[in-house]
Amino acid sequence: MGIIPLGSQIPMNAKGGTMPDLSGALRDWFRPMNFNTVTKVMVYGVSKETMNVVSFMGVIFPMEYRELILKPEGQRSWTWYQLFADPVLTLNTDDVVNYNKQTRVKGRKDWQAHGFIEYHLVEDWTGVGPAVS
């Protein structure tokens, strides 16, 4: 076991980042999850939407108040979620997913080097996408 150096002892260009790989710790926190992703395709000039099931490990919870306060004023009352997922899940901004309710991806932070990806989701109250049965 070595001694952990002080921050002042590490040169500025010694390492690309100081955040450790969290994938080991996240394995205990993550649970199996399934999302239904909505895929839109143009078929003969008509937009067709299909649902695809994506299985991954992750955890989802309501967004913290201090994160919500940064959102535009009209959006603060919407239902926002934070999703931490293993890198198997690859969503992009504006993708529509269904997890109990239809939600839309509004943000993605790539932390793959540290074992996870963070997504910001908002309840898709406009009803875009196929009806959920």
Closest by CA to 98, choosing from 33, 49, 37, is: 37
- Tell whether pTM > 0.75: no
Angle formed at CA 78 by CA 68 and CA 71, multiple of 5 degrees: 30
**pLDDT tens per residue across all 133 residues of the chain:** 567 777 677 665 555 556 666 767 777 888 999 988 887 778 888 888 788 899 999 999 888 766 766 666 556 567 888 999 988 888 988 888 888 888 889 889 988 877 889 999 988 866 555 444 4
**CATH code linked to domain 19-123:** 2.40.10
Give the per-residue pLDDT at 24: 74
129, 38 contact by CB (below 8 A) = yes
pLDDT at 132: 44
List 84's β-bridge partners, or say none: 59, 118
pLDDT of 133 reads: 40
Q: What single-letter DSSP state applies at residue 26?
A: H
Q: What is the pLDDT of residue 78?
A: 74
Nearest-5° Cα angle at 126, 129 to 86: 60
Domain boundaries, the chain: 19-123
Distances (CA, A) of 121 to 33, 35, 47, 55, 80: 15, 12, 24, 17, 6
